[in-house]
Structure 1
Amino acid sequence: MKARKIVDEMDSYVPGKSQDEIAQDFNLNKEDIIKLGSNENPWGPSPKAMEAIKREINSINRYPESQLGELVLQIAEYSGVDDSQVIVGGDGADEIIDVLAKTFIDAGDEFIVPLPSYMYYEYLLMQYGAKPVYARWDLEKNELNVNSIYDAITDKTKMIFLCSPNNPTGTLIDKEVLVDIASKNPEILIVIDEAYFEYSEVTNKDLINDFNNIFIIRTMSKVLGLAGMRIGYGLACPEIIEYMRRIKPVFSLTRLSFAAALNTFKDTEYIEESIKKGIESRQYLYDEISKIDGLYVFPSKSNFMLIDIRDTGFTAGQLALELMKKGVIVRDCTSFKGLDEYWIRISICTLEEDKRFIEILKEVLA
Structure 2
Amino acid sequence: MKARQIVEEMDSYVPGRSQDEIAQDFGLKKEDIIKLGSNENPWGPSPKALKAIEEEMSAINRYPESQLHELVEEIAKYSDVDTSQVIVGGDGADEIIDVLAKTFIDNGDEFIVPLPSYMYYEYLLKQYGAKPVYARWDLDENRLDVDSIYEKISPKTKMIFLCSPNNPTGTLIEKETLREIASKNPEILIVIDEAYFEYSEVTNKDLIDEFDNIFIIRTMSKVLGLAGMRIGYGLACSQIIEYMHRIKPVFSLTRLSFVAALNTFRDSEYIESSIKRGIESRQYLYDEVSKIDGLYVFPSKSNFMLIRVKDTGFTASELAHELMKRGVIVRDCTSFKGLDEYWIRISICTLEEDERFIEILKEVLS
Offset of residue 323 of structure 1 = 0.1
Offset of residue 248 of structure 1 = 0.2
Offset of residue 225 of structure 1 = 0.0
Which residue of the partner structure matches residue 207 of structure 1?
207
Q: What is the DSSP-based 3-state SS (H/G/I as helix, E as strand, rest coil) of the residue aligned with 2:180?
A: helix
Q: How does 1:1-366 map to 2 (within 5 A)?
A: 1-366=1-366
Q: What is the DSSP-based 3-state SS (H/G/I as helix, E as strand, rest coil) of the residue aligned with 1:205?
A: coil
Offset of residue 329 of structure 1 = 0.0
Offset of residue 153 of structure 1 = 0.1
Offset of residue 131 of structure 1 = 0.1
Partners of 1:74 and 1:353 lie apart in 2 by: 33
TM-score of the superposition, structure 1-length normalised?
A: 1.00
Partners of 2:305 and 2:210 lie apart in 1 by: 32
Partners of 1:152 and 1:118 lie apart in 2 by: 18
The one-letter amino acid of 1:298's match is: F
Q: What is the DSSP-based 3-state SS (H/G/I as helix, E as strand, rest coil) of the residue aligned with 2:221?
A: coil
Partners of 2:49 and 2:344 lie apart in 1 by: 33
Offset of residue 30 of structure 1 = 0.2
Offset of residue 315 of structure 1 = 0.2
Residues 118-156 of structure 1, C-alpha deviations (whole Å, 9 max, x = no match)? 000000000000000000000000000000000000000
Offset of residue 336 of structure 1 = 0.1
TM-score of the superposition, structure 2-length normalised?
A: 1.00
Partners of 1:211 and 1:81 lie apart in 2 by: 14
Partners of 1:27 and 1:313 lie apart in 2 by: 27
Offset of residue 255 of structure 1 = 0.1
Offset of residue 191 of structure 1 = 0.0
Partners of 2:249 and 2:323 lie apart in 1 by: 41
Q: What is the DSSP-based 3-state SS (H/G/I as helix, E as strand, rest coil) of the residue aligned with 1:241?
A: helix
Partners of 1:177 and 1:135 lie apart in 2 by: 15
Q: What is the DSSP-based 3-state SS (H/G/I as helix, E as strand, rest coil) of the residue aligned with 1:106?
A: coil
Q: Structure 2: 5+ residue runs without aligned partners?
A: none
The one-letter amino acid of 2:135's match is: A
Q: What is the DSSP-based 3-state SS (H/G/I as helix, E as strand, rest coil) of the residue aligned with 1:360?
A: helix
Cα RMSD (Å): 0.2
Residues 198-237 of structure 1, C-alpha deviations (whole Å, 9 max, x = no match)? 0000000000001000000000000000000000000000
Offset of residue 195 of structure 1 = 0.1
Offset of residue 166 of structure 1 = 0.0
The one-letter amino acid of 2:226's match is: L
Partners of 1:160 and 1:236 lie apart in 2 by: 15
Offset of residue 348 of structure 1 = 0.1
Partners of 1:110 and 1:17 lie apart in 2 by: 31
**Equivalent residues, number:** 366
Offset of residue 55 of structure 1 = 0.4
Residues 150-197 of structure 1, C-alpha deviations (whole Å, 9 max, x = no match)? 000000000000000000000000000000000000000000000000
Offset of residue 12 of structure 1 = 0.1
Percent of residue pairs identical: 85
Partners of 1:231 and 1:266 lie apart in 2 by: 16
Partners of 2:323 and 2:358 lie apart in 1 by: 11
Runs of 4+ displaced beyond 2 Å: none
Q: What is the DSSP-based 3-state SS (H/G/I as helix, E as strand, rest coil) of the residue aligned with 1:293?
A: coil
Q: What is the DSSP-based 3-state SS (H/G/I as helix, E as strand, rest coil) of the residue aligned with 1:132?
A: strand
Q: Structure 1: 5+ residue runs without aligned partners?
A: none
The one-letter amino acid of 1:320's match is: A
Partners of 1:265 and 1:226 lie apart in 2 by: 11
